Structures are given as C-alpha cells and as structure tokens.
C-alpha cells in the first residue's frame, strides 16, 4: 500500500511567519525601542529608508506623546504601549509600494467604512501634510 504525504498549509506566508517571529523577539527585547527602530530603518532599501527616516523625524514633532516601537519588524509609533501608526516598507511582504497604516487605537472611524492604510511611493510636501492631518486626527 503506497502512502502519500499530506500537504499542510497553515495559512501564513514565509514573510508573515518571519514577521511573527520578529514580533516575539520585540516583546522579549531589552533594546531601546528608538534604537531598534533606527536600526530596522537602516536596513531598508534607499527609497523606503528615506520615507521611514522622514516619518521618524516628523511624527515626534507633530505627536510628541507617541513613542517609537517596532511592531512585527516595522517602525511604529505607540501611545501607552499600543501601536497607533506604522510604516511598512515595500520589501516587508514583497509589495510594489510601501504603506503608512493605522491600528484600531487610532481615532479615524468615519461611518461604516474608512481607510486604515495608505500607499506611499514618494514623501512629498503634500503627502507629509496629509500624514500630519491623519496622525493628529488619529490622536484626537
């Protein structure tokens, strides 16, 4: 009687499993969150790194009560330990663009449906203005 190997699929991609492993390390880490975030940003591709570095300058200026924190291996900014917003570089899940997103602790609710993440291909002054408005609204 021939036996066949049953294929299993747990529903997660390799990149998603890697992100979960990164999150577990983040929870155990004794490293300064700002230093860990800066180190993660330094590993990004040039275009994404430039966006992440600018966000890392901009967000503390407009929302000083947010603290830097890695979140599943992505730069994030938290209030009282809960992630409010985060930056996902394009390479993270092999996307064609990076995203700036918000978690449920952000006060962005608007009716029955609203966006929680935004694709960013270039951080222009107009895009920065939108991000400033969104972060301020998220904290209102």
| Predicted TM-score of the model (pTM) | 0.81
pLDDT higher than threshold 70 for residue 27: no
**Rounded alpha-carbon distances, angstroms, from residue 16 to 13, 22, 108, 133:** 5, 10, 26, 30
Mean pLDDT of the chain: 89
> Which pLDDT score, from 0 to 100, does residue 19 have?
74
Average pLDDT over residues 115-123: 95
> Which pLDDT score, from 0 to 100, does residue 54 have?
97
> Which pLDDT score, from 0 to 100, does residue 93 have?
85
> Which pLDDT score, from 0 to 100, does residue 122 have?
94
> Which pLDDT score, from 0 to 100, does residue 8 have?
59
Considering only residues 96 and 8, tell me which one the structure prediction assigns the higher pLDDT. 96
> Which pLDDT score, from 0 to 100, does residue 1 have?
53
Q: Which helix (H) or strand (E) holds 67?
A: strand 67-71
Residues 6+ apart with CB under 8 A from 140: 107
Give the Cα separation of 140 and 137 in Å (integer). 5
């Amino acid at each position: 009687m021939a036996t066949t190997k049953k294929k299993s699929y747990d529903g997660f991609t390799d990149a998603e499993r890697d992100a979960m492993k990164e999150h577990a390390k983040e929870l155990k880490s004794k490293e300064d969150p700002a230093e860990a975030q800066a180190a993660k940003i330094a590993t990004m591709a040039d275009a994404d790194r430039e966006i992440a570095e600018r966000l890392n300058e901009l967000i503390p200026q407009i929302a000083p009560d947010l603290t830097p924190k890695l979140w599943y291996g992505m730069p994030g900014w938290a209030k009282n330990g809960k992630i409010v917003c985060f930056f996902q570089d394009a390479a993270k899940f092999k996307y064609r663009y990076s995203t700036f997103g918000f978690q449920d602790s952000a006060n962005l609710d608007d009716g029955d449906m609203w966006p929680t993440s935004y694709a960013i291909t270039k951080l222009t002054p107009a895009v920065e203005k939108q991000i400033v408005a969104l972060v301020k609204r998220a904290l209102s």
